[in-house]
Amino acid sequence: MHDGLDIKSPRCVSDRETRFAFSVAIIFLLYAGFSTFHHEMWRDEMGPWLIARDSRSLFDIFHNIRYDGHPSLWYLLIWPLTVFTINPESIQWLNLGVAASAVFLIARNAPVSRWVRTAVALGYYPIYEYGSIARNYSLGLLALVAFCTLFPYRRERPLLLGVLLLVAGNSSMLACILAIAALLMLTIETVIFRPQPTKIKQSWCGIGIAAVSIAFAIWQMIPPHDSGYAMGWHFSYDPVKLVKVLKNMTAAYLPLPNAGPGFWETEFLAAFSLYRNFSWVGAPLLLIIVSLALLRRPLALVYYLCGSLGLLAFFYVKHVGYLRHHGFLFVCCGTALWLARTMQPVTLAGLLDVAARRSERAVALLFPVILAVHLAGALIAVAGEYKYTFSAAKATADMIRERGLDKLPLIADLDVTGMPVVGYLNKRSAFYPCGDRYGSYVVWDTARMQHSIVWGEPLQMAAKTGSPAVVLVDDFVMKKFPPPAELQPKLQLIGCRNAEIATDESYCAYLFDPDHTIEALRQ
């Protein structure tokens, strides 16, 4: 007896699962929080912070992100933080909270065993790519996981599902593609299986909310005519590129980096020639096996195929992407299998039924192996964050600040690598020879392609003013274009700081003091 309450009652089961989910979420926060604490923000994280910081209103954000290729929701969430703090690292803890919320929903509601839920929650993508690195991708993960959680109640709460697809669609291009797949799935179901008369209007309103918001997200991501990033579309057949895209899909399901410095975006399995040469075969095999496993749940199959093929098409025709982008192929698979578990299977005839059931068993055997790889990948990534410097931007900013030079004008040779230092110094702007302009975040237009080496015209302009300035150059410039001899009397090396993971964010900083003003003040 337990005070008259059966230990197996739905309420007790619900309470136990909630406690379990909280436990997993706490472990996640400790694990990913440790990694976040040791992670130095890099340019892709600092850019949204600077855009939000330098936007005087929410409406300014829509103007300032026009070259970024992302919808506005992540920037809108960051904007209030810039009102209360000047510390860009605040977005790391915002991101960690979003990712932890997704982990809680996975651990609480995913219709699989506890160990599978734990393995997914503590795998490579939630822990590292979407938990430790503060980007907009965690927001899309949360929205898609929440969509799966509420999917069994779609007839009762169609408006809420529409809002969740609004969030997913406006978080990133990748989540937007999966939101389109989910919207198509809902629309097909609503047409074929009509809701109750009292819910028809709400169901179509939910679909309408999702459709309009996704269209709005796509409109935001259409680049201006003078965009200078990921230009053009590639529709012609290119076997080399196709193989690369397929290899990336296999790597997305098996994210296992090399241990050691520079581990990020590496593939441990690529050390084996058989895998390196033939890993592209894994992509169509995965598509076929998972599709057959979903055959008895045709709505989940529609979602999986539309989402996966939509992502692959985007990587092929527009932007081949990196592992953080390819990870949404795995997110698509995981959410499709989740949705399938909430659907009643249909009856198939003959060989189709045999193929579907055998594929379901194959997926059940395959995914523990895949999840073991994800757990190992997360461990390698977190250990790498602890041991190695991701970006030297923070250390460089601290070095400039310790010398009391943080208030001087800053000339950053390359805008994309100079941007995180600008953010850590909390400077309103720096001079970027890329585009010959002042700014903080990168404007990805064609003007920035006109790049003059910092030792030339930019310093000539600074010399005319007679004002001291800090000159920031990255490792590439130091090796290829060291300071010319005639500038040596006017330059003092402040110091150099090296990155071991995002190695292009290694810097040397110089004090340019043409009239020896700083030296005179110190004397």
Within 13 Å and on the Cβ side, how many CA atoms surround 452?
A: 15
- What is the distance in angstroms between the CA of the first residue and the CA of the last residue of the chain? 84
Q: Are residues 379 and 482 in the same domain?
A: no
What whole-number distance in Å separates Cα of residue 19 and Cα of residue 12? 11
Question: pLDDT-derived band of residue 372, with 50, 70 and 90 as boundaries?
Answer: very high
Is the domain of 337 the same as that of 472? no
406 to each of 395, 441, 459, how far by Cα in Å?
13, 18, 18
In sequence order, what DSSP letters do the residues of 292-320 get, joined into one string? HHTTTSHHHHHHHHHHHHHHHHHHHHT--
- Residue 127 · residue 381 · CB < 8 Å: yes
Residue 503 CA to chain centroid, in angstroms?
A: 19
Which span out of 226-235, 278-287, 472-481 was modeled with the highest average pLDDT? 278-287
For the stretch 389-432, pLDDT in tens is 999 999 999 999 999 999 999 999 899 999 999 999 999 999 99
327, part of any domain? yes
Would residue 41 count as lying in a domain? yes
The answer to the question of residue 257 being in a domain is yes
pLDDT digits (tens, 9 = 90+) for 134-151: 999 999 999 999 999 999
Alpha-carbon distance of 483 to 190, in angstroms, equals 67
- For residue 163, the model assigns a pLDDT of 97
Specify the pLDDT at position 186. Answer: 97
Q: How far is CA 300 from CA 63, 289, 291, in A?
A: 37, 14, 9
In 3D space, the residue among 125, 121, 97, 123 whose CA is nearest the CA of residue 108 turns out to be: 121
**In this prediction, what percent of the chain has a pLDDT beyond 90?**
84
Average the pLDDT over 352-379 and give the result. 97
Among positive and negative, which fits the CA dihedral 207, 216, 130, 22?
Answer: negative
Domain-terminating residue out of 387, 408, 443: 387
- Angle formed at CA 216 by CA 45 and CA 100, multiple of 5 degrees: 40
How many domains is the chain partitioned into structurally?
2
The maximal CA–CA distance of the chain, rounded, in angstroms, is 92
Residue 248: the pLDDT is 98
Q: Are residues 346 and 412 in the same domain?
A: no
Average pLDDT over residues 155-177: 97
Cα–Cα distance, 141 to 102 (Å, whole number): 7
Inside any domain, residue 4: no
Give the mean pLDDT of 174-187.
Answer: 98
> 58 versus 333: which is more confidently predicted?
333
Q: Where are the alpha helices (DSSP H) in 437-480?
A: 457-465, 475-480
Question: 464 lies in a domain?
Answer: yes
pLDDT of 458 higher than 50 = yes
Among 368, 369, 294, 372, which Cα is nearest to 113's? 368
User: Are 359 and 374 in the same domain?
Assistant: yes
Pairing of β 437-439 and β 430-432? antiparallel
> Same domain, yes or no, for 301 and 416?
no
The verdict on 407 and 378 lying in the same domain is no
Instruction: Give the residue from 164, 140, 142, 8 showing the smallest Cα distance to 71.
Output: 140
Name the 3-class secondary structure at 38. Answer: coil
Distances from the Cα of 30 to the Cα of 37, 112, 281, 362, 376, angstroms:
10, 24, 37, 34, 17
* 302 and 222 within one domain: yes
Q: Out of 387, 412, 439, pick the residue that ends a domain.
A: 387
Same domain, 258 and 325: yes
Q: Is residue 379 part of a domain?
A: yes
Range from 227-241, 292-306, 458-472, 480-494 carrying the lowest mean pLDDT: 458-472
Residue 3 lies in a domain: no
- The model's confidence at residue 13, banded by pLDDT at 50, 70 and 90, is low
Give 188-195's long-range contacts (Cβ < 8 A, gap of 24+). Answer: 188/299, 188/302, 189/299, 195/155, 195/158
Q: What is the mean pLDDT of residues 451-480?
A: 82
Q: What pLDDT was estimated at residue 344?
A: 94
Q: Do residue 277 and residue 343 come from a single domain?
A: yes
> For 335-483, where are the E strands, in sequence order?
410-412, 430-432, 437-439, 469-474
C-alpha–C-alpha distance, residues 438 and 445, integer Å: 14
Q: Say whether both 398 and 332 belong to one domain.
A: no
> Do 245 and 366 belong together in one domain?
yes
DSSP letter, residue 403: T
pLDDT of 382 over the 60 cut: yes
Angle between helices 43-53 and 415-425 (to 10 degrees): 60
pLDDT of residue 457: 75
Q: Are 301 and 291 in contact (CB under 8 A)?
A: yes
Nearest to 183 by CA among 195, 167, 200, 199: 167
43, 119, 68: which is closest to 334 by C-alpha? 119
Question: Which of these three, 328, 356, 387, is where a domain ends?
Answer: 387
The mean pLDDT value for 348-356 works out to 93
Candidates 324, 332, 279, 323; CA nearest to 305 is 332
| Cβ atoms 220, 65 nearer than 8 A | yes
516 half-sphere exposure, CB direction, 13 A CA radius: 5
| Residue 183 located in a structural domain | yes
Spatial separation of the C-alpha atoms in residues 314 and 303, rounded to whole Å: 16
Give the C-alpha separation, 501 to 382, whole Å: 12
Angle, nearest 10°, between helix axes 114-121 and 10-37?
20
| Structural domain that includes position 512 | 393-522
Q: How would you classify the pairing of strands 491-497 and 507-512?
A: antiparallel
Within this chain, do residues 379 and 409 fall inside the same structural domain, yes or no?
Answer: no
